[in-house]
Amino acid sequence: MNCISLPGITAISYVPCGSLPADLIYQALTGFPVTISSSTTEIALKSIPSCEVEESPDNNTQIEKAKLSFTTLDTLPTSMPLAFLITTTAGNHYILGTREKLYPTIKVTSNTSKPDAEAAVHRYEVSFTARKALIPYNL
């Protein structure tokens, strides 16, 4: 089992999974360049986000489990399946999610702060398990 952590995330945005091209995982596994042409919604980050990918064998196939964590004042439309687009300090771009099921699981924790303190925030944890959970893409 290997665990990989992305270096400094500079931006996270989201897009409805239905707006993504079909078969992204297979494109990434075969080395076919992945591009995203649909419009995305950027998330205003309130803390340093993190993304970790754990690789493990399952029935003679490598499976990846990605976990993205971030805090924001924004309320995301979690009633629909969302995919997340990540940009790193190195200029790399990754997609967490696909058009096809199974979609990323989104867990949200909201907290209220004390009066005269920082604003109330939402902490999101996004998990996605697939043969290729963190898919590189080109702009």
Query: For the chain, how many structural domains are there in total?
Result: 1
* Rounded to 5°, angle at Cα 65 from 14 and 74: 25
Indicate the pTM of the whole model. 0.89
- Which residue range is the domain that position 35 belongs to? 2-136
User: Under a CB-based contact definition with an 8 Å cutoff, are residues 128 and 66 in contact?
Assistant: yes
The tens digit of pLDDT for each residue in 30-71 reads: 988 898 888 999 999 998 999 999 998 888 888 999 999 999
Q: What is the model's pLDDT at position 43? A: 97
User: Under a CB-based contact definition with an 8 Å cutoff, are residues 20 and 35 in contact?
Assistant: no
Dig out the tokens for 28 from the structure: 């990434």
**Can you tell me which residue has the tokens 């993205």?**
68
